[in-house]
Amino acid sequence: MEWEVFPFVKHDGVMLRYLDDFRYISTDKEKVERFITAMLKGHPKYKYTVNKEKNLTNVDIIYH
């Protein structure tokens, strides 16, 4: 799922997953925004959703 939904994380940053928790670490703010936007959008094939209020970042995010 990770490489299908988030192909851009392969080459820039590190994604960690433990059960239903995801961590994406990158110095590229645009990639962080893409990751969070994709997580909040969800994916019907994998049936996951993310609660925006439980989302934490160390940068200000512009949600697309």
| 17-35: pLDDT as tens digits | 888 788 888 888 888 888 8
CA separation for the pair 55, 53 (Å, rounded):
6
- At 53 the pLDDT is 76
Both tokens assigned to 14: 């590190």
- At 63 the pLDDT is 59
CA separation for the pair 38, 41 (Å, rounded):
5
Taking residues 30-50, what's their average pLDDT? 81
Taking residues 31-40, what's their average pLDDT? 84
Taking residues 31-47, what's their average pLDDT? 82
- At 21 the pLDDT is 81
Residue 64 makes CB contacts below 8 A (sequence gap 6+) with 33, 37
